[in-house]
Chains A and B, each alone.
Chain A
Amino acid sequence: MRRTGFTLGFAALAIVLIMMAGRTKSFGATAVQDKPATEVKIDNFVFAPNPVTVPAGTTIRWTNRDDIPHNVVAEDKSFKSKVMDTDESFTYTFSKPGTYIYFCSIHPRMTGKVVVQ
């Protein structure tokens, strides 16, 4: 009897472990979400890719790869990042559909667009 109980318990544990393995989330993500963040790189005073079109609920992560600091500021003031020095990032989750124009307020000729569907 004991052995059967032991085997059953072991099987149950194995099933739970297998189920968990299939749903592992990566640690260190800045937001717990079903989809990974959409990456926008900042380099040579340019946002790339630009424009980006994403479904509502998407998080965008801007990472500054330039050797000069930049930031991102929404024209409609819906988001505004701190200044990002080289290799720093900023994330924002777009929950509402719409077209969002943003720019670097330090170098305002740098503009970008996010279309949220």
Chain B
Amino acid sequence: MSKKKNDVILHDHNHDGIDRRGFLKCMAWAGTGAFCVMQGGVLKSYSLSRLAELSQKQTKGELSFVQISDSHMGFNKAANPDVVATLKAAVDKINALPTKPSFILHTGDISHLSRPEEFDSVEQILKDASAKDVFYVPGEHDVIGDDGKQYLERYGKESQGAGWYSFNHSGVHFIGLVNALNLKAGGLGSLGQEQLEWMEKDVKHLSKSTPIVVFAHIPLWSIYPEWGWGTDDSAQALGYLKKFGSVTVLNGHIHQTMQKVEGNVVFHTAASTAFPQPKPGEGPSPGPMKVPAEQLRSLLGVRDVNYLPGKRALAVIDSTLE
């Protein structure tokens, strides 16, 4: 199943150059090892096995970066006894990308038990990546026992509060949010009033044509509340982004790729580099999912994101480790 398909805009009900139905159809292929590139409203899908054949012109943009997530350094149970090896395989995958990424976004659960040697190990392994800059946001496994004090000491130098921050790169505005701290009993992810007020101010004076990328550990849309897969106060945060024509939200936490399109916002959750988790409701709990050893790497992955200036949405390409 690796024939090349070309889709053009079939339905454009909102007259904004985005074919949402076609996009979603294309996204359904992503889980089987295909990827979709949206350029100026025109969708192209390719199978990953043909990735190497594509010319630089088709996937290269003004900005290229990578998202990895949930490395859980320190995990050693049956679902993956060697998370070091799979993280190294993810680095190899990054280094093999046709366009060298400018930086890496790590959307949290860097460590498994917030131990110093676990953080050290991840940093050491990522030193071998082609992209030397890594931007982190914490997951709940990174702030165990100390309310995130160690995480902040390591990664929070340029940040506010519990570790949120923003930066610009190639005309794109990136916002790193922290929603895995100060969680309440029975609750979901939480941004909190202080962070929300900071975010409102942070985006207030940006022009609406600025592409926005928000990255946070726990999903900012309600995927499956029973398993904690959502954020209590994300609606407020997303409200501040209504004026922008292009918003991409990158999350982790659920150890599988999922996508959603809502207005001008495209949400993506990422695969883990450590172990997969079951689909919503398809298992007793959201814990590590054991699969036959030869299948493990096909359920772990990295994400390549390309921004072509003037285009509405970012091109997101998910690839598995095998």
Q: Which residue of A lies closest to B286 (CB)?
A: A45
Interface residues in B170-187 by Cβ distance below 8 A to A read 183-187
List residues of chain A with CB within 8 A of the CB of B77.
67, 86
List residues of chain B with CB within 8 A of the CB of A102.
185
Interface residues in B268-289 by Cβ distance below 8 A to A read 284-288
Segment of B16-24, B89-97, B139-147, B151-159 engaged in the interface with chain A: B139-147
List residues of chain B with CB within 8 A of the CB of A47.
none
A101 to B284, CA, bound (A): 23
List residues of chain A with CB within 8 A of the CB of B285.
44-46, 66
- Interface check A82, CB cutoff 8 A: yes
Cβ-defined contact, B228 with A108, below 8 A: yes
A69 to B144, CA, bound (A): 10
Cβ-defined contact, B187 with A108, below 8 A: yes
- Interface check B188, CB cutoff 8 A: yes
- Interface check A109, CB cutoff 8 A: yes
Cβ-defined contact, B112 with A108, below 8 A: no
Cβ-defined contact, B112 with A111, below 8 A: no
Cβ-defined contact, B186 with A83, below 8 A: no
Cβ-defined contact, B185 with A106, below 8 A: no
Cβ-defined contact, B186 with A105, below 8 A: no
Cβ-defined contact, A109 with B140, below 8 A: no
A83 to B144, CA, bound (A): 7
- Interface check B198, CB cutoff 8 A: no
Cβ-defined contact, A111 with B185, below 8 A: yes
- Interface check A107, CB cutoff 8 A: yes
Q: Which residue of A lies closest to B147 (CB)?
A: A105
List residues of chain A with CB within 8 A of the CB of B183.
105, 108
A66 to B285, CA, bound (A): 10
Cβ-defined contact, B145 with A108, below 8 A: no
Q: Which residue of A lies closest to B79 (CB)?
A: A67
Cβ-defined contact, A68 with B185, below 8 A: no
List residues of chain A with CB within 8 A of the CB of B287.
44-45, 66-68
Query: What is the distance, in angstroms, from A77's C-beta to the closest C-beta of chain B?
Result: 12
- Interface check B135, CB cutoff 8 A: no
A103 to B117, CA, bound (A): 27
- Interface check B84, CB cutoff 8 A: no
Cβ-defined contact, B186 with A103, below 8 A: yes
- Interface check A85, CB cutoff 8 A: yes
Partner of A107, one of B79, B113, B140, B284: B140
A86 to B76, CA, bound (A): 11
Interface residues in B106-143 by Cβ distance below 8 A to A read 112-114, 140-141
Query: What is the distance, in angstroms, from A58's C-beta to the closest C-beta of chain B?
Result: 22
Bitwise, B204-247 to A at CB < 8 A (1) or not (0) is 00000000000000000000011110000000000000000000
List residues of chain B with CB within 8 A of the CB of A66.
285, 287
Query: Can you report 22 A-B residue pairs in the complex whose CB atoms are below 8 A from each other?
Result: A44-B284, A44-B285, A45-B285, A45-B286, A46-B285, A66-B285, A66-B287, A67-B78, A67-B288, A69-B141, A71-B144, A71-B145, A82-B145, A85-B113, A102-B185, A105-B183, A106-B141, A107-B228, A108-B183, A108-B187, A108-B188, A108-B228
Given contacts A83-B144, A102-B185, 20 further A-B contacts (CB under 8 A): A44-B284, A45-B227, A45-B285, A45-B287, A66-B287, A67-B77, A68-B287, A69-B144, A85-B113, A86-B77, A103-B186, A106-B140, A108-B183, A108-B185, A108-B188, A109-B187, A109-B188, A109-B228, A111-B185, A111-B186
